[in-house]
A and B are shown apart, each in its own frame.
Chain A
Amino acid sequence: MAAIVATDLSKTYRFHRKAPGLRGSIASLFRRETLETRAVDGVSFAIEAGEVVGFLGPNGAGKTTTLKMLCGLLYPSGGAARVLGHTPARREAAYLRRIALVMGQKNMLWWDIPAMETLLLHKEMYGLAEAEFRRTTDELAEILEVGHLLRVQVRKLSLGERMKMELLAALVHHPEVLFLDEPTIGLDVVAQGRVRDFLHRLNREYGTTILLTSHYMDDIEQLCPRVLVIDRGWLEFDGALATLVERAAPHKIVSAVFAAPVPRAVARAALPGLDAGDAEELLKISLTAPREEVADVAERLLRLGRIVDLSVEEAPVEEIIRGIFRPAADPVVAGGGRS
């Protein structure tokens, strides 16, 4: 059975717009323009238990809104969400005990006291037995390498350490489904890597189903075999990251470094369309080629001279993703009535 099912899930926010300045403020007392924005517009997908799925999209695409509907913080305006057989918006205790949400920009831990105190609170809230609580805490603290920091005030911890503690606090009750909203935001490269390793291990060892949003493509590339791409509330893609890359970027980058410089005219003759710049002689040639022509291009490069290095690479995923999203238009889709 799928752990997470979204069927035609939609969310419309209503808000008011007023003209700028004092006049606008006064006028808005009598007449306000009500606008609606469709943050999520009929999104459907299913995620099996044990999957790790990445949620991609530009800012304002509807990722966080979808995540919040799935964990029960937001009522959907339309469609339905089912997670572990529960309707999230009901926020039943039996449901909340089986999930967790970690938001990179909102903390759950109390700032002035050690993280251990929050863990002890969670022990009572989730009704965990002493032995089970100790075992889980020790285990998670060891994997996250924060055992020695459990009794240090949270505000004295580094950003990376704090994020690890947030994860620990969110996981102490062994949630079956973990929602992560930008879990590595603001962390340095090393800390990002540690958090990723941990999530990977969590999924492998405990079978935790993970749905995460991230702006860092490294998170997605290393953790998520499957991605959902959402843009302006629409689900644009659902499938393997490799398929997305192939579909979105039918080109590869072929680069060669030569032992001796190649005259520009020779290179251009062999590789029509090569943008060689102003240099008369080239020591390194790099060009994009359609996937089916990569072998041919490589062969032509080899004929230009003795090569010391040759590489064929995918275009950077980050660039590919950026390319998928069309320039954002005005997100306001429908002007409602006046109130």
Chain B
Amino acid sequence: MSAARTLRVVWRLTAVNVMMTLEYRGAFLIYMFNTVADPTISLLVWLAVADQGVALPYDRAQFVTYYVMLSVTAMLTATWLGSYLAEAIRLGKLSPFLLRPAPYILGMVGNNLGEKIIKLPLLLPLVGLVAIFFRHDLRLPTDPRAWALYLLSLPLAATVAFLLDYVIGSLAFWVEDVNGLLRIRTLLGAFLAGQYVPLALFPGELSGLLAAQPFRYTLSFPLEILTGQLSGTALAAGFAWQAGYCIGLWALYRLLWRFGLRAYSAAGA
């Protein structure tokens, strides 16, 4: 399929998902409330710790900036496809799609983009309220280059997260129940992505490991750019890791599907 047609198909699938999501807008408003509430609670905890005079690598402003921007960043890089994909494989729901001349993954891309298009306008006012509340400590970058780099790392982070889920979900071609694995990915992933605790607060000995693991590139890295923690070299290395994970996971996805579809077709489709 040509790139232009692929884009048109993705756009159509996105539009379809926007329409479907609009049917459930009430539920999405509640999700978005949670998306903002969790980081705000974490922020309050850390500010309380900081007020006790504990020496932390982050100052007040960095905490506020990190957690206020976390909800938007986390939403825009989130994925939820793993269990859906696994179910589609296990129950043979893949079949109607496999007979269309377009790869199945495009449907998931459309679903992901479609829901995010609906969630963003619901989320932004809530984040705005939190930002106003913490306005005295909020220090967003004024340098447009920082924003440009953040906006570049955002789609890459979303891609790494999406492909990670896709690869794990694809294991359902061989493994009967991948939900346990997906749960571990969600919990461990959130922790290692800096969703609860900024990675900068982890012990220094772990910094090498933390920099190399993929979850950093699903959330923490764009936030590190915004909070101004990264030097020129660290930035370049970060983008290299992020792009590397995109390419590596893409290759892994292609490989898994090549053999996975054979297993699927052997089992009864």
Q: Which residues of A contact B (CB under 8 A)?
A: 13, 65, 68, 71-75, 89, 91, 93, 96-97, 99-101, 103, 106-108, 110, 112-113, 117-118, 120-122, 124-127
Contacts and interface: CB of A to CB of B under 8 A. Distances in A.
A125 B96 contact: no
B1 interface: yes
B19 interface: yes
Nearest to A15: B267
A106 B9 contact: no
Nearest to A95: B101
Given A93-B1, A103-B96, A106-B95, A68 B269 contact: yes
The residue among B1, B95, B100 with the most chain A CB atoms within 10 A of its own CB is B100
B146 interface: no
Given A117-B16, A125-B9, 16 more contacts: A13-B267, A68-B269, A72-B98, A73-B99, A75-B262, A91-B98, A96-B99, A97-B101, A103-B96, A112-B20, A117-B15, A120-B12, A121-B9, A124-B5, A124-B12, A127-B5
A89 B8 contact: no
A113 B20 CA distance: 6
A74 B20 contact: no
A324 B119 CA distance: 59
Contacts of A127: 5
B99 A72 contact: yes
Contact of A73 (B11, B16, B23, B265): B265
Contacts of A91: 98
B268 interface: yes
A124 B9 contact: yes
B247 interface: no
A124 B102 CA distance: 10
23 contacts: A13-B267, A73-B98, A74-B265, A74-B269, A93-B1, A97-B101, A99-B99, A101-B99, A103-B95, A103-B96, A106-B95, A107-B96, A112-B23, A113-B16, A117-B12, A117-B16, A118-B16, A122-B100, A124-B8, A124-B9, A125-B9, A125-B102, A127-B5
B204 to A, nearest CB: 44
Contacts of A122: 100
B16 A108 contact: no
B13 interface: yes
Contacts of A71: 99
A20 B79 CA distance: 39
Nearest to A68: B269
A74 B263 CA distance: 10
Interface in B188-229: none
A73 B16 CA distance: 25
A13 B266 CA distance: 7
A112 B19 contact: yes
A125 B99 contact: no
Nearest to B95: A73
A117 B13 CA distance: 9
Contacts of B266: 74-75
A127 B101 CA distance: 10
Nearest to B97: A108
Interface string B75-99: 0000000000000000001011011
Identify which of A74, A101, A120 gathers the most chain B CB atoms within 10 Å of its CB: A74
Interface in B3-34: 5, 8-9, 11-13, 15-16, 19-20, 23
Contacts of B19: 112-113, 117
Contacts of A126: 101
A13 B16 CA distance: 37
B16 A121 contact: yes
A133 to B, nearest CB: 12
A74 B96 contact: no
Given A89-B265, A117-B15, A126-B101, A108 B96 contact: yes
A113 B268 CA distance: 29
Nearest to A153: B23
B269 A106 contact: no
Nearest to B18: A113
Contacts of B268: 13, 65, 74
Contacts of A106: 93, 95-96
A118 to B, nearest CB: 8
A91 B20 CA distance: 29
B16 to A, nearest CB: 5
Q: For A91, A107, A113, which residue has the most chain B Cβ atoms within 10 angstroms?
A: A113
A91 B96 CA distance: 13
Contacts of B93: 106
B9 A73 contact: no
Given A68-B269, A127-B5, A93 B20 contact: no
B12 A75 contact: no
Contact of B269 (A73, A93, A96, A121): A73
Contacts of A72: 98-99
Interface in B99-125: 99-102
A125 B4 CA distance: 11
